[in-house]
Chains A and B, each alone.
Chain A
Amino acid sequence: MNEPIRELALEGITKRFPGILACNRVSLEVRRGEALALVGENGAGKSTLMNILAGLYQPDEGSIRVNGEVVRFASPADAFDRGIGMVHQNFMLVPSMTVTENVALGMKALHRRIRLDLKEARRRVLEVSAHHELPVNPDAPVWQLSVGEQQRVELVKTLCLGARLLILDEPTSALTPQETDDLLDRLRRMMAELSIIFISHKLNEVKALSDRVTILRHGEVVFHGSTADHSTAELAALMTGRDVVQPRNEQSGAPGREVLTVRALRVRGDRGNLALDGLDLDVRAGEILGLAGVSGNGQRELADALAGLRPVESGSIRLDGAEIAHASPRRIIDGGMGYVPEDRHHEGIVGPFSVEENLVLKDVGKAGFSRHGFLRPGEIHRNAEELRERFDIRCSSTAAAAGTLSGGNIQKVILARELARGPKALVAVYPTRGVDMGAAEFIHGQLLALRRSSAGILLVSEELEEVMALSDRIAVIYKGRILEVLASRDATRRTLGLLMAGVPLG
């Protein structure tokens, strides 16, 4: 077992990547039994800093001290030897292997000379999982586990390898509200034996777990202090450098006719299973219908089916009265459907194409962007400049390849293209996933503006705050069906969380 980490300090860490100063003389420290929250927007340098601490990157300047002694981590193995373990945001598990095999992979000390001692690894998994109350099935292949289970496996793995300081990179980003509360609970209990560094931009979780908070902006520490002394609003302002007002749905105006009607929809998932099994849904003009649910309950298949990207087994989808269940994507687009896909990099844009080209992808055959099959670059450019202004797309030029933009700006390009077409209905799938607070605020504002122009919006999200702030009504999807539809004002985090876990209202 590693020596406990009484005190860990990063001093003056600087890290440059080509063209970017990711961390600029960052210092922070953690003591034994303490939880430090590392907070900042995307690109603030949080993950880079922690990857340095975990031995994945080498700093250009600065030093790391463990218990007062300067250490150098040439590889993650060195960091593990010092008791520093990191749980990455995108889990570092091998999906085709079992839980035990994944743990054994890292347990170098535990192997006989050649033969793999899986029994011993399995025993360790069970021991650690019992000690820290992290239930895992050691024999399950990882690909069969839910995201929450995979996260427990990551924690068990890291603890099995002897971590005394846990680095958690946005650990709750893919969890349900219940799983999140559960995780925060477990972490709080673990702090009796461990120290924790917790990367997040969800400030309520920062408040709930951490003793102290360090805020990074553009690679520099802008604030360091005790969590209890500052409100989430103060922390948000420090994080973004300005006051943040998340737009809310004022719920004014009466909803109109139904623009999107789904009846008894059955659609198969990638593995041939029935991902949607008799789903019914209505979206009316001038409303935002939030679709809440743990990802993997049929959201992707529903969005694909609405956009015409996945064959419909049976059932009906009507867009403003017209049947589109078996229509081609082209017909659905022409019928007035807007679509903000989950995978914005691959389905939303063509990365190597310029911003201008991406903005006219759906209309390149009409509306004056081409004539006799020849593009009209002047018109395309004018269109792009106008949308860039209106949607605050931050790019060096509209001729830049769209794939080089940040996630938030790519999302603005997609939103600009879809909204400029004046859709009757819009399907937005996880529209703010992974984008920073400023961009999320803007995207939310645009969705509300579209609502006022009498379009019907289906907002698929797993962020309860987002769903509750924007929706008129909230539908909860569970195992391919709508479990319940609530008026937004009647919904609480608790009821939604229970519904998302499949517990019907009593």
Chain B
Amino acid sequence: MNEIALLVAATLSSGTPLAIAGLGLLVNERAGVLNLGAEGMMLVGALAGYAVTFHTGNEWIGFAAGAGAGAILAAFFGWLVIWLHTNQYATGLAVSLFGGGLSAYLGAGYVGQKLGEHPDLSIPGLRDVPFLGPAAFDQHLLAYLTILGTVALAWMLQRTRAGLVLRAVGENPESAHALGYPVRRIRLLAVVVGGALCGIAGAYLSVVYAPLWVEGMVAGRGWIALALTVFATWRPVRLLLGAYLFGGVTMLQLHLQARGVQVPLQFMSMLPYLATIVVLVLISRNPAWIRLNMPASLGKPFYPGS
């Protein structure tokens, strides 16, 4: 019983960074921009978050720094693909590699350093409820904010003017342009928001989840977050559930390893990634499903006339 509660808690905890990054990517993909640089943005966010938390002792300033670092890298990406019309795929890959290299170089001095103690953020009272307490109410505040944020984003996309404009820019930028909306600025804003959220996700990993800094510590989560947007067919709530699913698979394999199940370690570590591939294959079996939900101009450059 207690073991399951811990597994649930670990699932929420490991799903949270995937969800934060995935929601960010969802925003910029809804605006029609595909940023394959998620991994790089998460890494610079992770380093900035770790370093600032280390020096200030305040993890919220650390998260802000992570957001800022991700946003700056995303803004650079946005300028390249939106104004200079560089290829989104190639530029995203470059950002991914660049972020990895930069964070490794700048972060060398932080490897092996220790952060101070976490403040205990679990919710008094609820924390002591049997099973549910340890399972659901012993998380970092960001985990709850993520759930709130998911609902807020879903509402924003469907029920607000900003959401309507954002979707229009991703579906048919020409029509948004013809109505007088500044398509490129809206896209840049969406990309920056996406980068900031990826940065926060990275900072969550290094400050809360690990908590430590090691080169390449994001370990492919940026790629999984990208796959999650497709998995979720660009819907926030589905994305959150998908993130917990992948978080759960990751945790399950660690758990099985710990119990000494006789399967090679390497195979177990593959599980979350295999799950990614399997889910993508299953979803792609119905091409209409993807085609109807995918932002119609995703990955395509927009050239305003003259």
Contact = CB atoms under 8 A, between A and B. Distances in A.
Interface in A98-129: 101-102, 104-106, 111, 114-116
Contacts of A92: 172, 174-175, 178-179
B219 interface: no
Given A93-B172, A95-B172, A96-B171, A104 B164 contact: yes
Instruction: Give the contact-size bracket for chain A.
Output: 35 or more
Interface stretch (B12-20, B96-104, B154-162, B201-209): B154-162
Instruction: Give the contact-size bracket for chain B.
Output: 20 to 34
Given A57-B305, A115-B159, A95 B164 contact: no
A121 to B, nearest CB: 10
Contacts of A146: none
B168 interface: yes
Interface string A46-90: 000001001111100000000000000001111010000010101
Contact of B180 (A76, A94, A101): A76
A56 B159 contact: no
Contact of B171 (A56, A95, A271): A95
B292 interface: yes
A95 B172 CA distance: 8
A17 interface: yes
A57 B168 CA distance: 21
A17 B159 CA distance: 40
A97 interface: yes
A272 interface: yes
A188 to B, nearest CB: 26
B179 A76 contact: yes
B301 interface: no
B262 interface: no
A333 B297 CA distance: 35
A86 B171 contact: no
A58 B164 CA distance: 27
B283 to A, nearest CB: 17
Given A101-B164, A114-B160, A95 B177 contact: no
A58 B179 CA distance: 16
A89 B288 CA distance: 27
B168 A97 contact: yes
Contact of B160 (A75, A91, A116, A271): A116
A80 to B, nearest CB: 7
B140 interface: no
B165 A56 contact: no
Given A86-B178, A106-B179, A58 B168 contact: no
Pairs A-B, 5 closest by C-beta atoms:
A77-B180, A92-B175, A76-B180, A106-B179, A92-B178
5 contacts: A56-B178, A92-B179, A114-B160, A115-B161, A161-B179
Interface of A: 15, 17, 51, 54-58, 75-78, 80, 86, 88, 90-97, 101-102, 104-106, 111, 114-116, 161, 271-272
